[in-house]
Amino acid sequence: MSQTQTVREDGTIASVSGPVVTARDLDARMNDVVYVGKNGLMGEVIEIEEDITTLQVYEETSGVSPGGPVENTGEPLSVDLGPGLLDTIYDGVQRPLDVLEDKMESPYLRRGVDAPGIELDKTWGFEPEVEAGDEVGRGDVVGIVEETVTIDHKVMVPPNALGEGETAEVVSVDSGEFTVEETVAELDNGVEIQMRQEWPVREPRPTVEKKTPTTPLVSGQRILDGLFPIAKGGTAAIPGPFGSGKTVTQHQLAKYADADIIIYVGCGERGNEMTEVIDDFPELEDPSTGNPLMARTSLIANTSNMPVAARESCVYTGITIAEFYRDMGYDVALMADSTSRWAEAMREISSRLEEMPGEEGYPAYLAARLAQFYERAGYFENVNGTEGSVSAIGAVSPPGGDFSEPVTQNTLRIVKTFWALDADLAERRHFPSINWNESYSLYKDQLDPWFQDAVADDWPDRRQWAVDVLDEEAELQEIVQLVGKDALPEDQQLTLEVARYLREAYLQQNAFHPVDTYCPPEKTYLMLTTIQTFNDEAFDALEAGVPVDEIIDTEALPRINRIGVQDDYEAYVDELQSDIESQIRSLY
């Protein structure tokens, strides 16, 4: 958090009710950061009415009493941006949790301790990218710092240092070791550039324009890449009841998505899930670079038992950091688990403010806030002329698993990819339990050229074939429920068998299997081809008069279910396809 304190007129506490505190005679603007009470708990101005200012407090308010002081910093809630954001875990207001542990000398979060978002005394090796005499505009890169083994951090002219189209001349720039607060370059208009910038979290960082994304965010998850792909710069929602696989899916994306930077926001969820990430990520390899995953990751953890106001702000903290790396020209993927908890935090604060409740008690501005958040995702031309993207993937936790509730519905109006989780599939341990009949991706068509180019020309046709078989299966299953499978004509029985392999081999993917957990698009494609080979051979045999039971019993077929766990899948698939062919053909 920002430490600058342009102190304005202080006030006194008038009332305390949970995270909502009112102050009298405070000279403040909306969203100013304040310090409340004797302990100096951090809070934010959320309403001003005559001489009463309402604050949401980011720390536990037990024992805070009326009459106590309220001090205004005069600055809106901002994040510190600069090298050191990666490989770090923050709370919802960007306090590094490791620093807090140190300062508090306790595994418990105590109150009234502040810490800057990035280390202030650490030095970084700065390599200039410009020379004295060069003209630079806003957002332009003046130098590079190796932030982690994976990421070169671009030190940029802050977007608010110059106007749109305005340039200034570099008068001095030095290479060497600097702290984030030391000046590394100076412009002729007097602007001094440091590695550290601040940005108010509730305000999007400027861009030139939003463009249509055409590159997929490859996730290594078959059902996502194969059937419902998301674009780099796209938006997706994962709604589902408890235990259906939202968090596992988000973790899989954080591990395997081919983004440059991952921002993972644990918003109002479990402490242990964040611990799991902290434990696992340093040991896992980034599939694109082979470096430790943490080298491209920043974590924001505001767990369910941490103060609710900081939960409200944590998604903003996350997306602002994401935009900062986008400005450097990177592809950033942000996961928010769960946006429902964020919405509930809004609801809780709103009800303490006694605002007029909308649907199910959520504030009337719920839809607008959700839309503003997802609007900050996209594939952009940045102010410095580079291109970068922010993909936003939000988990949604609908009460009772009922998708008709306001958070799910308002989210679906905005996002373009919908991965619907299904309790029934989860119960039978079909994972990922993404319902293939309900889910969709509106990016499919615009991403096809990429897959055709990178994997195979018939990628879209194969996908369509799989979708058709699964659709047909859904219809046939209704009949089977009434009369049993054996009452169906033979060709339909065969379709059911093909669909079974699609479900069990292709759509299912075990996140906990060392090989199956990540499936490159080439393997996804080969798997589908193999099942289609079976399909085509089987229908030929059926036409030639071979009984369906004999076809189904073909010895090689169960091996289809093992493709997922094969490391050396190409050889395996080759052999399997030719075995399927020859064995089925030998039946007639």
Partner 1 sequence: MSKQYQTITEISGPLVFAEVDEDIGYDEIVKIHTQQGETLRGQVLESSEGIVAIQVFEGTSGIDQKASIEFEGKTMKMDLTEDLLGRVLDGSGRPIDGGPDIVPDTKENIVGAAINPYSREYPEEFIETGVSVIDGMNTLVRGQKLPIFSSSGQPHSELAMQIARQASVPEEEADGEGEGSEFAVIFGAMGITAEEANEFMEDFERTGALERSVVFMNLADDPAVERMVTPRMVLTTAEYLAFEKDYHVLVILTDMTNYCEALREIGAAREEVPGRRGYPGYMYTDLAQLYERAGRIQGREGSVTQIPILTMPGDDDTHPIPDLTGYITEGQIYVDPDLNSQGLEPPVNVLPSLSRLMDDGIGEGLTREDHADVSDQMYAAYAEGEDLRDLVNIVGREALSERDNKYLDFADRFEQEFVDQGFDTDRALVETLSIGWDLLSMLPKEELNRIDEEFIEEYYREDGSEETEAEATAD
Ligand X SMILES: Nc1ncnc2c1ncn2[C@@H]1O[C@H](COP(=O)(O)OP(=O)(O)OP(=O)(O)O)[C@@H](O)[C@H]1O
**Annotated binding site for ATP, which residues?**
240-247
Kindly indicate which of the ranges 75-83, 243-251, 290-298, 308-316 contains the residues binding ligand X, using the contact rule CB under 6 A.
Answer: 243-251
Q: Which of residues 448-507 bind ligand X (CB under 6 A)?
A: none
Contact range with partner 1 by CB under 8 A, out of 182-190, 229-237, 254-262, 554-562: 554-562
Segment near partner 1 (CB under 8 A), from 124-132, 357-365, 406-414, 452-460? 357-365
DSSP letter at 421? B
279 binds partner 1 (CB under 8 A): yes
Which residue, 1 or 301, has its beta carbon nearer to partner 1?
A: 301
Examine residue 340 and tell whether it contacts Mg ion (CB under 5 A). Answer: no
Q: Which is nearer to partner 1, 123 or 477 (CB)?
A: 477
Q: Determine, following the binding rule CB under 8 A, whether residue 471 of this chain makes contact with partner 1.
A: no
Q: Tell me which residue has tokens 């109150």.
A: 111
Q: Pick between residue 14 and residue 136 the one whose CB is nearest to partner 1.
A: 14
**Residue 466: HSE in the Cβ half-sphere, 13 Å Cα cutoff:** 30
- Give the span between the Cα atoms of 96 and 98, in whole angstroms: 6
Minimum distance from residue 345 beta carbon to partner 1 (Å): 8
**Residue numbering of the annotated binding site:** 240-247
Q: Find all residues with CB under 8 Å of 67, minimum gap 6, and list them.
A: 12, 13
One of 199, 431, 436, 451 touching ligand X (CB under 6 A): 431
Query: Of these, 2, 56, 72, 303, which contacts partner 1 (CB under 8 A)?
Result: 303
Q: Which is nearer to partner 1, 484 or 489 (CB)?
A: 484
The DSSP secondary structure of 144-195, one letter per residue, reads EEE-SSS-EEEEE--TTTS-TT-EEEEEEE--EEEETTSEEEEETTS-EEES
The contact mask relative to partner 1 for 24-43 (x = CB under 8 A, - = no) is x-------------------
Distance CA 293, CA 285 (A): 5
Stretch that binds ligand X, among 10-18, 240-248, 259-267, 380-388 (CB under 6 A): 240-248
DSSP letter string, 448-471: HHHHHHHT-TTHHHHHHHHHHHHH
Q: Is 485 in the site for partner 1 (CB under 8 A)?
A: yes
Q: Are 334 and 259 in contact (CB under 8 A)?
A: no
Q: If you write DSSP's letter for every residue of 193-241 in order, what string do you get?
A: EES-EEEETTSPPPEEEEE---SB---S-HIIIIIS--BTT-EEEEE--
Closest distance to ligand X from the beta carbon of 510 (Å):
5
User: Which residues, other chains included, contact 195 with Cβ-Cβ below 8 Å and sequence gap of 6+?
Assistant: 82, 83, 124, 126, 145, 153, 155, 178, 179, 180, 181, 182, 184
Give the count of residues interacting with partner 1 (CB under 8 A): 79
Note whether 512 binds ligand X by CB under 6 A: yes
Residue 249: CB minimum distance to ligand X, A: 6
User: Considering CB distances under 5 to 8 angstroms, the limit depending on partner class, which of Mg ion, partner 1, ligand X, none binds residue 545?
Assistant: none
User: Do 254 and 445 contact (CB within 8 A), yes or no?
Assistant: no
Binds 107: which of ligand X, Mg ion, partner 1, none (CB < 5-8 Å by kind):
partner 1
Task: Please state the closest distance from residue 268 (CB atom) to ligand X, in A.
Answer: 10
Residue 32 parent element (H or E) = strand 32-36
Residue 268's binding partner, choosing from ligand X, Mg ion, partner 1, none, with beta-carbon cut-off 5 to 8 A by kind?
Answer: partner 1
Cα–Cα distance, 382 to 276 (Å, whole number): 34
Residues 6 or more apart in contact with residue 1 via CB below 8 angstroms: 33, 42, 77, 78, 79, 80, 93, 94, 95, 114, 115, 116, 117
Residue 249 touching Mg ion (CB under 5 A): no
* Residue numbers at the binding site for Mg ion (CB under 5 A): 246-247
Binding-site ranges for ligand X (CB under 6 A): 240, 242-248, 269, 397, 431-432, 509-512
